[in-house]
C-alpha cells in the first residue's frame, strides 16, 4: 500500500512557531526527512520509533542533492511510510518543493502541503522591522541572494520603493549593497542584517547601504538582509524583563527543559534547551501488573516523578484497572510537579514533603504509617535508594518497581557565553558529562534541589541549590544570582 508525503513548513523558529497541523502530522508520521534549517526541537514531536533522516539544505552546504531527496521521498512513500518532509520556513518560499512535488506526481504518490511561517516576514517582524508601512513602503520583494546577481537585476531592485528582503545572503551582504548603489539606490538607504532570527541568539545590526557590510561583519548565519526605509524601524515592545539579555541553559528531560525554558524566556532570558536525559520506559513486568491487581493491600503508593505517574496510569488503563481500588490507600508525591501530575489524573496526594527529596518523603511516610505497613514505590531504576531505606529502617515493607530508566543522548549545542546552566536532576548532571558537554568557564550552576547540587559539585566543583526545589524556584534563584552579578 502506497503511503503519503506531507510537505510541512517548520516555520522560522522553535516549536512555538510550528502550525498545529504540522505538529499533528509529526506526531503520527513513520518517517521524517528534515532540513538543517528546521529547529531540532521540533523533532521531539516525532515518535521515537519513526525514522529521522537529515537531508541538509542549509545555504552553501547541501549535504544531499535535490534529486536524491526527491527520490528518497518517493521510495519511502512507495514502501508504505507516512512521510513528513520538514522544510525550513514555508515549503513554497525558496523551498524547491516544486521539484519534489513533480517527482511525487510522476510516481503517483499522494501528497499534501502544509504552510509554515516564512522567515522573510517573521524574522524582520521579531526584530521590530515591518516589511510594509503605508507611508514608506506599500509592498516588499523577497529575493534569494543566490540569484541576486548581475547589473540588470540590481538596477531593477534599486528602482523600487518597496522593501527588499534578501534570504541566505550574509556572505554577499557587501556585494548586494554595492550592487544596489551601482544600480542607482542611495548609499544612505537604510539596511539591516538580522542573524539567527527567531532564536535566543537573534541579533540585529542597523546601518545604511554604504556601511552595512562593515557593521555586519561579526554577524552569523543564517541571516536576513532588509533594505528600504522600514529597515530603520525598531517597533519592538520596550518591556523591562528581569533576565533581559541573560543567557541560560536548562539540562534534563524534555519535560523539565521545556517547562523551565519557557519560564526563563518569559523573564527575558536567552534560553538554550538541552533535553539530553531521555526516558526509556520499563514495563515493570509481572511485578507491576501483580501490584496493580492488589492495590488495596498497600498502605501507601509513593511516586517520585511525573514520569512514574504517567507510566503507572498508562498501565492502569491498559489493564482496565478500577481507580476505586485505591480507596483508603495514601498517595504520596516527592514534589509539586509529581503532585500536579497526580491531580491531572484526579488524585490529590495525601503527602507532599516540604523538601522535595526522596529522603524527606521517607521521613513523612515513616511518621504517618505504623510498623508493618506496605508501601509501593514507583520509581526510576537508577533513582535514589533513600526512600526505601528510610521506610525499611522504620519497620515498613517497601516494595520498589522501576517503571522507567534514563539514557544520555546529546541534543543541542551549549553557547560558550552561557551565564547560567540549570540542572533538573542528578541524572542530568551525569548525562552532561557523559555526552561531552563542557561547562562554560564562568557559568553559574543552578540545581533543582540539594541532591542534584551535590552531584553537580562533585562534577563541576560548584553549584547552587534552588529554593524552592521547583522549576519556578530555579527561575527565582537565577534572578537573584543575576542581580548579585549586576546585570
Residues annotated catalytic, as ranges: 35, 57, 168
**CA-to-CA separations, 230 to 125, 170, 199, 224, in angstroms, rounded:** 11, 19, 22, 14
Q: Report the alpha-carbon distance of residue 306 to residue 340 in Å, rounded.
A: 8
C-alpha count within 13 angstroms, C-beta hemisphere, residue 98: 3
Q: What is the phi/psi pair of residue 471, to 5°? A: -60, -40
The torsion angle over the Cα atoms of residues 16, 22, 28 and 32, rounded to 10 degrees, is -100
Amino acid at each position: 500500500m502506497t503511503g503519503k508525503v506531507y510537505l510541512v513548513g517548520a516555520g522560522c523558529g522553535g516549536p512555538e512557531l510550528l502550525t498545529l497541523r504540522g505538529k499533528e502530522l509529526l506526531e503520527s508520521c513513520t518517517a521524517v526527512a528534515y532540513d538543517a534549517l528546521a529547529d531540532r526541537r521540533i523533532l521531539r514531536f516525532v515518535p521515537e520509533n519513526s525514522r529521522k533522516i537529515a537531508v541538509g539544505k542549509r545555504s552553501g552546504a547541501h549535504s544531499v542533492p535535490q534529486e536524491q531527496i526527491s527520490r528518497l521521498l518517493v521510495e519511502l512513500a512507495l514502501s508504505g511510510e507516512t512521510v513528513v518532509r520538514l522544510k525550513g520556513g514555508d515549503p513554497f518560499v525558496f523551498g524547491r518543493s516544486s521539484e519534489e512535488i513533480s517527482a511525487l506526481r510522476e510516481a503517483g504518490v499522494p501528497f499534501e502541503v502544509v504552510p509554515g511561517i516564512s522567515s522573510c516576514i517573521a524574522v524582520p517582524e521579531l526584530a521590530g522591522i515591518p516589511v510594509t508601512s503605508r507611508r514608506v513602503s506599500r509592498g516588499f520583494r523577497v529575493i534569494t541572494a543566490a540569484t541576486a546577481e548581475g547589473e540588470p537585476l540590481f538596477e531593477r531592485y534599486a528602482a523600487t520603493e518597496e522593501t527588499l528582503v534578501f534570504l541566505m545572503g550574509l556572505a554577499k551582504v557587501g556585494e548586494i549593497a554595492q550592487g544596489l548603489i551601482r544600480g542607482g539606490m542611495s548609499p544612505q538607504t537604510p539596511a539591516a542584517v538580522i542573524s539567527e532570527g527567531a532564536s535566543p541568539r537573534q541579533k540585529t545590526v542597523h546601518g545604511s547601504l554604504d556601511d552595512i557590510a562593515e557593521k555586519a561583519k561579526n554577524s552569523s548565519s543564517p541571516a536576513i538582509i532588509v533594505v528600504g526605509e522600514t529597515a530603520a524601524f525598531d517597533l519592538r515592545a520596550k518591556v523591562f524583563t528581569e533576565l533581559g539579555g541573560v543567557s541560560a541553559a536548562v539540562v534534563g528531560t524534555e519535560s523539565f527543559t521545556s517547562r523551565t525554558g519557557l519560564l526563563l524566556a518569559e523573564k527575558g532570558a536567552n534560553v538554550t534547551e538541552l533535553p539530553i536525559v531521555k526516558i526509556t520506559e520499563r514495563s515493570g513486568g509481572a511485578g507491576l501488573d501483580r501490584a496493580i491487581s492488589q492495590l488495596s493491600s498497600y498502605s501507601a503508593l509513593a511516586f517520585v516523578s511525573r514520569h512514574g505517574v504517567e507510566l503507572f496510569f498508562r498501565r492502569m488503563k491498559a489493564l482496565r484497572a478500577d481507580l476505586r481500588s485505591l480507596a483508603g490507600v495514601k498517595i504520596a508525591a516527592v514534589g509539586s510537579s509529581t503532585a500536579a501530575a497526580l491531580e491531572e489524573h484526579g488524585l490529590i496526594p495525601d503527602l507532599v514533603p516540604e523538601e522535595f527529596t526522596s529522603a524527606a518523603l521517607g521521613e513523612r511516610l515513616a511518621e504517618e504509617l505504623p510498623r508493618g505497613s506496605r508501601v509501593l514505590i514507583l520509581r526510576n531504576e537508577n533513582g535514589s535508594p533513600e526512600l526505601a531505606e528510610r521506610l525499611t529502617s522504620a519497620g515498613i515493607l517497601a516494595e520498589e518497581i522501576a517503571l522507567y530508566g534514563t539514557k544520555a543522548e546529546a541534543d543541542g549545542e551549549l553557547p560558550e557565553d552561557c551565564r547560567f546552566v540549570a540542572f533538573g536532576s542528578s541524572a542530568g548532571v551525569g548525562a552532561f558529562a557523559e555526552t561531552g558537554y563542557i561547562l562554560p568557564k564562568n557559568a553559574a550552576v543552578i540545581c533543582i534541589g540539594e541532591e542534584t547540587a551535590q552531584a553537580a559539585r562533585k562534577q563541576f566543583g560548584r553549584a547552587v541549590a534552588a529554593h524552592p526545589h521547583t522549576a519556578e524556584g530555579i527561575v527565582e534563584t537565577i534572578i537573584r544570582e543575576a542581580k548579585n552579578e549586576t546585570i
